[in-house]
Structure 1
Amino acid sequence: MSLVRSAGLQKFRQTVEALGGDADAFARQAGLPDGALDADDLLVEDAALAAVLEIAASTLRCPDLGLRVASVQELSMLGPLAVAIQHSPSVADALECTSRYMFVHARDLSVSLVPDPDGVPGVTALLYSFGPGVRPLPQATDMTMLFVHRAVGFLVGDGYGLRSVDLPHRPVAPPGRYEKAFGAAVRFGRPQALLRLPSSLLKRPLAGVDATLRGLALAFLSRQSPDPRTGPAARVRAVLAQSLGTGPVELGDVARALAVHPRTLQRQLDAEGQSFAKILDDVRRTRARAYLTSTDMPLTQISRLLGFAEQAVLSRCARRWWGMSPTALRRQARSPQ
């Protein structure tokens, strides 16, 4: 399982509802968490994101749904990464920034510059990788690749010289629909998903760059990655802090996010005198106190955000953590001293 930010579904609801579909029903069928269609920062399973597009496209008989969604998405859906990209000195710097920090948006996805697969002089390729062993579904691939194309166009203008597009699947919509969307030839059934660009594009400077804004965005992005120089317990804690309440938080899920085998991670934690269960409990306790003492969220919602199956689990944990019920802690925090 890989996790992606729910921002990747920006404009899905509007597109589906314009076609007469029930976006929420499709989200439930795909197993997306509540709120995934209307929030940017939930972490959702990439398989669920791909599934909701396939379900909606099939039900609505709209084979170009992925292209439709991407055509109205905005670069801003990448959050701070968008700011860093927009204020990079050149296209090459913007793409390098995207490659380095793409994990903030989607942990197992990557963007990188590679030699042109056709070996044409003066042409380079922008490769979009979906993670090892992943077989990308057509709608999600179409949406992603058109968004990447439009993002480049946003930076330098629509006529940036796209040579052609390679997609790993067969066309699910008429080929002409793809060529109209990309404004270039599209080749299907190719080994990889990529855009073929003029190499000269990489040197093009970007206009309106604010170095201060870029520095602030990069500082934020650099704090989102668990630093490999820190101990395993700190890295586990950082991943749990981002994932809690948005999906499974088992040892195997965290190990995958950190690119290590679960048994290896467990041994590393043992060597530090730590355990996965204790770290998860600590993260939940800290998060629970914050929710209970600084928000008015119902206990059922807090329970879900902590990854508990039911409110009774929160009540038992609260008595173990603080010797009182969640309601009592909330009341105590608000009573005058």
Structure 2
Amino acid sequence: MSLAPDPTDPPGTSRSTSATIQPNILRCLVTVADERGIDLRPLLKQVGLDETVMRSAALRVSYRQGSAVIRRALELTRDERLGLRVGAAQHLTAWGLLGFALMADETLRHAIETGVKYQNLSGAMVVWSAATSEAEGEAFVLRADLPDPAMDPAVASFLSEEAFASVVTLSRLAVDPAFVPRAVEFSFPPPRRLDLYDALFRCPLRFGAPTNRMLIDATWARTRMPGRDPVAYASTLEMLDAQMASRRDQQDLLEVLEISVAQNLPVIPSFAEQARRHSTSERTLRRRLADCGTTYEALVEGVRRERVEQLLLRPELTLRDIARRAGFSDERALRRAVRRWHGSSPVHLREQMRRDRS
């Protein structure tokens, strides 16, 4: 899902919707950073995720928020293999009902397929798919695609590493400590050191591959889960299906509101006006947003931030132009907002974004 584009944006411009994933990766990232003596909580607060909010089971964060935290964490830790460490620190209990369903599933392959089916409830920041490949000798192939091909390369590498490191770690915890994939392929270039990869995956590795893939031998794929329980599995799926339906309703609400704000910029519709458009009371709409783990104010802030970041990429626009189009009273208000979001000035952010895209 994406926000409605600014009518003056170049063709192909897209925006990710806010509140799209559970923050499981960010919670684990904070723990790993703590162990290295680095406190990421001020950074989380800077992007609107204070400690109280992060403890909410209903919280959803946007890819923008997640990517911003990961990018800054990589800078602070100076650890190019941070994704591997975060993936290796994962545990199924952080996935709630989905983690329980995976443990109660019949085989490793079916557990992975269940995880793929309900991936929107797991906090995944990649797009998972899985299938048996006859061309690979009946190997079970798990693929992790990035949600945005133009993503910051450092963040993309982190997400790819975290994705497969977590699969290997959880498979060893849930099935057998001896589990090893047949091979793991990454689309990014070879790292300077392979020792951490070798220690974690214990299998052939390929870098610069067309896609991010993990190949699992058929024997491992057919391995029965030690905690399999058909009754518990079936009852848990019923609850997961209900969560998915609720999640779709929440996403629909958020998307409609985001599009409404984006289409009306620089004018921001009042909350009362949004409630009237949805034929509901302000109290009910506020409660529905609370169920999504957000507020109308936070949603508006996210839309305006997305708009500013897109407009900063257009060199022909002055800061006055950007402030006007994003609904700020003047350049000073724009500067304050960008400082709050990024800890830097709009000019510095514009330069940094251009460097990242070059």
Aligned to 2:24: 7
SS for the counterpart of 1:250 is helix
Amino acid at match of 1:214: Y
Q: Which whole-Å deviations, capped at 9, do the CAs of 1:181-222 have from their partners, x for residues lacking one?
A: 222222112121111110222222212223332223211111
Within a 5 Å distance, the mapping from 1:1-337 to structure 2 comes to 1=16, 3-28=20-45, 31-35=47-51, 37-106=54-123, 109-116=126-133, 119-131=135-147, 133=149, 135=151, 137-172=156-191, 174-226=193-245, 237-239=249-251, 249-251=257-259, 278=276, 282=280, 285-286=283-284, 288=286, 305-308=294-297
Query: How many angstroms does 1:252 deviate by?
Result: 7.3
Instruction: Mark the CA change 1:50 to 1:178 in structure 2 (over 3 Å): closer, same or farther.
Output: farther
SS for the counterpart of 2:142 is strand
Larger mean CA deviation between 125-134 and 275-284 belongs to: 275-284
Unpaired stretches in structure 1, ≥5 consecutive residues: 228-234, 255-261, 263-274, 292-300, 311-337
Counting matched residue pairs gives 268
Identity of aligned residues (%): 18
TM-score of the aligned structures, taking structure 1 as reference length: 0.67
- Quick one: distance in 1 between partners of 2:219 and 2:195? 28
SS for the counterpart of 1:43 is coil
Larger mean CA deviation between 167-176 and 147-156 belongs to: 167-176
- Quick one: distance in 2 between partners of 1:224 and 1:279? 26
Instruction: Mark the CA change 1:192 to 1:37 in structure 2 (over 3 Å): closer, same or farther.
Output: farther
Q: Which whole-Å deviations, capped at 9, do the CAs of 1:38-87 have from their partners, x for residues lacking one?
A: 44541111232233222112222222222222222211121111111111
Checking the alignment, whether the CA contact within 8 Å between 1:91 and 1:204 is kept in structure 2 is: yes
SS for the counterpart of 2:181 is coil
Checking the alignment, whether the CA contact within 8 Å between 1:125 and 1:194 is kept in structure 2 is: yes
Amino acid at match of 1:56: A
Instruction: Mark the CA change 1:129 to 1:305 in structure 2 (over 3 Å): closer, same or farther.
Output: closer
- Quick one: distance in 1 between partners of 2:256 and 2:45? 17
- Quick one: distance in 2 between partners of 1:305 and 1:58? 28
Unpaired stretches in structure 2, ≥5 consecutive residues: 1-15, 264-272, 300-358
Q: Which whole-Å deviations, capped at 9, do the CAs of 1:296-317 have from their partners, x for residues lacking one?
A: xxxxx99x9432369xxxxxxx
Instruction: Mark the CA change 1:284 to 1:72 in structure 2 (over 3 Å): closer, same or farther.
Output: farther
- Quick one: distance in 1 between partners of 2:115 and 2:201? 21
SS for the counterpart of 1:22 is coil
Q: Which whole-Å deviations, capped at 9, do the CAs of 1:151-199 have from their partners, x for residues lacking one?
A: 2222321322411111121245622221212222221121211111102
Checking the alignment, whether the CA contact within 8 Å between 1:111 and 1:126 is kept in structure 2 is: yes
- Quick one: distance in 1 between partners of 2:88 and 2:171? 13
Aligned to 1:230: none
Higher RCO, Cα 8 Å, sep 6+: 2
Aligned to 1:320: none
SS for the counterpart of 2:25 is helix
SS for the counterpart of 1:5 is coil
| Cα RMSD for the two superposed structures | 3.7
Amino acid at match of 1:128: A
Instruction: Mark the CA change 1:170 to 1:278 in structure 2 (over 3 Å): closer, same or farther.
Output: farther
